[in-house]
Structure 1
Amino acid sequence: MPRRTAPRRIPALPLALALALLLLLSLVGGVGLGAAGVGWGEVARFLWAGLTGGTVHAPDAASYTIVWEIRLPRVLLGAVVGAGLATVGVAVQAMVRNALADPFVLGISSGAAVGANAVILLGAFAGLGVWALSVSAFASALAAMALVYAVARSPHGLTPLRLVLTGTALAYGFEAVTTVMVFGAARGEAARSAMMWLLGSLGGATWARLPAAAVTVAAGWAWLHRRAGALDALALGDETASALGVRPARLRRELFLVTAAVTGTVVAVSGAIGFVGLMVPHVVRMLVGAGHRRVLTVAPPAGAVLLVWADTLSRLLFAPAELPVGVVTAVVGVPAFLLLMRRGGGHAFGGR
C-alpha cells in the first residue's frame, strides 16, 4: 500500500496577514457596493471626510449618509460578527470535542430569539427604544445560558455529552416558544422582521452597536488565544488533559461562559447567522493544522471576510430587497465546505 502523506500546511501568521489585507479590501468593497449608485470616487471622498471631519456639501448629503451612516457601520459590524462567530466556533468544538458543533449548539441563539421576537412581535420593552431588541436578545441569551448550565451541570462538572444533549434539547424548546409567538402574532411586517432576524440580518447596524460587540469579541478572542495550549490538551481527552496539568471541568466551565457571552453579544446585534462558526474552523484547520494557537490566529479574519461578502451579496442579489444573510452563508458555504472536505481527505479535525 502506498504511504499516506499528511497534507501540507500553510504558515498561520502570513495567512492571517494576507486575510487581514483581504478584509481591508473587502470592507472598502462592501461600502462601495449597494443598490444606491455611489461612485467609487465619491465613496473615497466621503470616507475621507468622515475620518478627518471634513465638510460635505448639501447636494452630497444623501450619498454621504448612505456611505458613512449606513454602509460603513454595517460592513464593520459584519466583520466583527463574522470574527466572533468563527472564534466561538473554534472554542465550542474544543469544549465539546465534536467537529459538528457550532456556536448555536448550546441553545444560546435559540434563547436569544425568544427575547428578540418578544420585542418584534409583542412590543415588549418598548421603553428602551432602539436598544430594546439588542437588550432583550442579550438578556434572554444569558437566561438561556444559565438554564443550560444548571441542567447540564453534574457532580463531575460539565461533560461534553451533557452539554450537547442539554443545549440541543433546550434549543428545540426555545424554538417552539418562538414559533408559538410568530403564529400568535398579527401577520405583516412584524412577522417578516422576525423571520429576517431568525435567519440573520445586519440591516439594523449602527455606530452605537459596534463598540460593545467589538470589545466583547476582542476580549473573548484574547482569552481563548491565551489558553490555546490548554485547548490543545483538552482536545486530546480529559484524562490526557489532566495528566498535562489542565483541569478539564474548570476549563470547560470557563469556555462555556466565554462562548455564551460572545455568542449572546453577536446574536443580539445580528440575529442567528448560521454556518460561519461551523465551516470556518474546519477550513482553517485544513489550511494550518489543528493547533489552536494557529487556528485562532487565522479563523477571525477568515470569518470576517466571509460574512462581509455574504452580507454584500445579500444586499445585491435582489436589490433593493434584502436576503437574510444566513441564507447566503448557507447557499455559498455548503457546497464550498463539502468540496473542501472532499479534497481535505478527512483531515478536517485531526492531525497537526
Structure 2
Amino acid sequence: MVVDHGRAHEAHRAGRSVPDAPARTTAPGGRRHVLPHHSGDALIVVAPSAERAGATRPPVAAVLGALGVALVAAVAVAVTLGAVAIPLDRVLATLAGRGEPTESAIVLSLRLPRVLGAALVGAALAVAGTLLQGLLRNPLADPYVLGTSAGASVAGTVGLLVAGPLGYLVVPAFAFAGALGSTAFVWRVARVGAHVPIVSLLLAGVVLSAVAGSVVALLLVMSDRLQLRLAAVLGWLMGGVSVVSWEQLGVAAALVAVSVTLGLATASRLDALALGEDAAASLGVDVERLKRVILVASALLTATAVSLAGLVGFVGLVVPHAARLVVGPRHARLLPACALGGATFVVLADLLARVALAPAELPVGVISGLVGGPFFFALLWRQRDSYRL
C-alpha cells in the first residue's frame, strides 16, 4: 500500500483533513508503488503520487545546500554589523584568537552568542510549526497561534522571577512544562469527538494567549522583585536575543537537536497521517503514540525558543509554507529545510531589528510579527471557505 501524498497535500493546503479511508495501492496515473511493512512499530515509507509535480522542483540536496550557505552568510553579516562595525577578517581573526581585546569582547561575548541564539530560535520555531501542521493536517497550526508560546511564556516568567545562578536551566524547564500543558489544554478544549476543528483550535489558542498575558502581568505586579526584574521580563516577552549566554546556547542546542531528531524519526508517519487517522492506522502507524511524540517534540522546541528569546511569533507559520513550495510536502525533506530556513529568517530579522533604528534596537518579535501577521491574515482569507466550527 502507499499513501496518496498528492491528495493529502492538496487537502493540507486547503485547511482540511482527508476523510479517513483505506490507503491506495496505485497512485494516480496508474503507477504502482510498494510499501514495506514491519510487524510492531511499522516504519512507513511514503511514495508520493505527486512525483510529476516534484519533477519541476530543484534537487533537495541542492536546496539544503543553498539554505546552508544562506545561513552561514547571514550569520557572517550579522556578526560584522552593529553599533560598531567589525570587518569579517577581524571577526575571523578574533575566532582564531588573534583579535583585539575590544573586538574579542564584542564578538565573543555579545554578537556571536546572540546570532547563534537567533538561529536556534528560528530553527526550533519553524520545525515546531511544521510538526504541528503535519499533526493537525492544517496549514494554520503554529506554536504562537495555538497558544503554546503563551503557555511557555507564563511558566518562563515564573522561572525568570525565581531563577538563581542556574537560571539557564530553570527557565527552559519551566517553559517546557508551560508549553506542554498549554498545548494539551488547547487540544482537549477544541476537540469534538474524534476531530479537532481548526476554528475551535484557533479560538482556544487566542483565549489562552489572552489569559496568559493577564497572568504574566499579574505575576509582575505581585512580584516582590519587580524593580529588579521588570525590564528584563518585559524585554524578554517582546521577543529578543540581546542577552544570550554560552551556557544557554549549550542547553538550547542540545534540546533542539533532540527534538529535531524526534521529528525526523516520525517523518514518514506524519506523511501517512495526512490521509487521516484511520488510513494511517491501517498502514501500521500507532496514531496515539505519534500524537504524543509530536506534542512533546513541538512543546520542547517551543519552550527552548521561548526560554532564549521570549515571544517571537509566526516563524512556524511563514517558514514551513515557503519551504513546502520548494521541497514539497514530504516531512523527511521539509523538516531540514524548515530548520535551515527558520534559522536564517530569525538571524536576518534580528539583524534588521538591530540596525533599522540604530542605535536603538527593536525587539525581534516586532519584526517577525510585521512579516508574519499579514501572511497569517492572507492565508486565513484564502482558506476561509474550508473552516467550520
TM-score normalised to the size of structure 2? Answer: 0.74
Question: Superposition pairs for residues 318-333 of structure 1, below 5 Å?
Answer: 318-333=357-372
Given that residues 158 and 253 in structure 1 are in contact (C-alpha distance below 8 angstroms), is that contact kept between their aligned partners in structure 2?
no
Which residue in the other structure is 1:101 paired with?
A: 141
| CA drift at 1:214 | 0.9
Instruction: Quote the Cα distance in structure 1 between the aligned partners of 2:138 and 2:376.
Output: 17
Matched, 1:173 2:214: no
Deviations 1:238-286 (A, max 9, x none): 1211121112222111111111112112211111111111100011111
Instruction: Report the RMSD for the aligned CA atoms in angstroms.
Output: 3.3
Instruction: Quote the Cα distance in structure 1 between the aligned partners of 2:265 and 2:170.
Output: 29
Instruction: Quote the Cα distance in structure 2 between the aligned partners of 1:212 and 1:116.
Output: 15
Deviations 1:5-34 (A, max 9, x none): 958423222101111011111111111011
Shift in alpha-carbon separation, 1:164–1:158, aligned structure 2, 3 A = farther
Which residue in the other structure is 1:125 paired with?
A: 162
Which residue in the other structure is 2:90 paired with?
A: 42
Instruction: Quote the Cα distance in structure 1 between the aligned partners of 2:182 and 2:329.
Output: 31
1:135 aligned to 146, 151, 170, which one? 170
Instruction: Quote the Cα distance in structure 2 between the aligned partners of 1:274 and 1:144.
Output: 14
Which residue in the other structure is 2:283 paired with?
A: 244
Letter in 2 for 1:331: L
Other structure's SS at 1:218 match = helix
Which residue in the other structure is 2:155 paired with?
A: 115
| CA drift at 1:66 | 0.1
Shift in alpha-carbon separation, 1:158–1:145, aligned structure 2, 3 A = farther
2:110 aligned to 57, 67, 70, which one? 70
Instruction: Quote the Cα distance in structure 2 between the aligned partners of 1:324 and 1:281.
Output: 23
Instruction: Quote the Cα distance in structure 2 between the aligned partners of 1:133 and 1:104.
Output: 22
Given that residues 156 and 174 in structure 2 are in contact (C-alpha distance below 8 angstroms), is that contact kept between their aligned partners in structure 1?
no
Given that residues 70 and 344 in structure 2 are in contact (C-alpha distance below 8 angstroms), is that contact kept between their aligned partners in structure 1?
yes
Deviations 1:54-89 (A, max 9, x none): x55xxx212210011111111111111111111111
Other structure's SS at 1:70 match = helix
Letter in 1 for 2:79: V
TM-score normalised to the size of structure 1? Answer: 0.81
Instruction: Quote the Cα distance in structure 2 between the aligned partners of 1:166 and 1:247.
Output: 27
Query: Number of paired residues?
Result: 326
| CA drift at 1:290 | 1.1
Letter in 1 for 2:212: F
- Report % sequence identity: 35
Which ranges in structure 2 are unaligned for 5 or more consecutive residues?
A: 1-51, 384-389
| CA drift at 1:93 | 0.7
Shift in alpha-carbon separation, 1:251–1:218, aligned structure 2, 3 A = same
Letter in 1 for 2:151: G
Given that residues 31 and 72 in structure 1 are in contact (C-alpha distance below 8 angstroms), is that contact kept between their aligned partners in structure 2?
yes
Which residue in the other structure is 2:184 paired with?
A: 149
Letter in 2 for 1:115: A
Instruction: Quote the Cα distance in structure 1 between the aligned partners of 2:120 and 2:172.
Output: 18
Shift in alpha-carbon separation, 1:188–1:324, aligned structure 2, 3 A = farther
Instruction: Quote the Cα distance in structure 1 between the aligned partners of 2:371 and 2:289.
Output: 38
| CA drift at 1:139 | 0.9
Instruction: Quote the Cα distance in structure 2 between the aligned partners of 1:332 and 1:150.
Output: 28
Deviations 1:125-183 (A, max 9, x none): 25x13x43762464144045236536855999985448666555433322221233456
Matched, 1:84 2:124: yes
Instruction: Quote the Cα distance in structure 1 between the aligned partners of 2:372 and 2:186.
Output: 33
Instruction: Quote the Cα distance in structure 2 between the aligned partners of 1:287 and 1:134.
Output: 37
Given that residues 67 and 340 in structure 2 are in contact (C-alpha distance below 8 angstroms), is that contact kept between their aligned partners in structure 1?
yes
Letter in 2 for 1:75: V
Letter in 1 for 2:64: A
Which residue in the other structure is 1:196 paired with?
A: 235
Shift in alpha-carbon separation, 1:258–1:116, aligned structure 2, 3 A = closer
Instruction: Quote the Cα distance in structure 2 between the aligned partners of 1:246 and 1:76.
Output: 36
Which ranges in structure 1 are unaligned for 5 or more consecutive residues?
A: 50-54, 347-352
| CA drift at 1:192 | 4.5
Other structure's SS at 1:321 match = coil
Given that residues 312 and 369 in structure 2 are in contact (C-alpha distance below 8 angstroms), is that contact kept between their aligned partners in structure 1?
no
Shift in alpha-carbon separation, 1:266–1:44, aligned structure 2, 3 A = same
Shift in alpha-carbon separation, 1:26–1:158, aligned structure 2, 3 A = farther
Letter in 1 for 2:290: L
Instruction: Quote the Cα distance in structure 1 between the aligned partners of 2:287 and 2:258.
Output: 22
Shift in alpha-carbon separation, 1:242–1:116, aligned structure 2, 3 A = closer
